[in-house]
Structure 1
Amino acid sequence: AQSVSLELDGSLKRMRRDDATGVWSVTGPASWRGKPYRYVVKVWAPSVREVVTNKVTDPYSVALTAN
């Protein structure tokens, strides 16, 4: 990914990548706990030969919401 953001409460929180591990992370207040969220990921898509932005769910989540 070129960039990853956390979409929460209608706004984007920019995430940071740890170059040693490749893990993206963001730290926030306790009020974020239990709120619906998704990731906004900017990646190179070879199928269309351009950078695209995808809104995706957390692959480690334990529940999903509609839309």
Structure 2
Amino acid sequence: MLRNRVREMRARHSLTQTELAQLVGATRQTIGMIEKGDYAPSVALALKIAHAFRENLEAIFWLEEES
């Protein structure tokens, strides 16, 4: 399962879902679904999100084994 820290990083950078979406070329709904874990972004979108936060991809997204 793909886990992420998008919500945490977005709050740390004082961005709304809409603002982050505009920075990375996505919709607010997509950002919300990523934050909830309901949507796994493409590699390109994940990289854009990481770049927006000036972080490595692995600092924001990681795989967690399901039990």
TM-score, normalisation: structure 2: 0.26
Bigger share in strand: 1
TM-score, normalisation: structure 1: 0.26
Greater RCO, 1 or 2 (C-alpha within 8 Å, sep 6+): 2
**Which of these two proteins has the greater Rg computed from alpha carbons?**
1
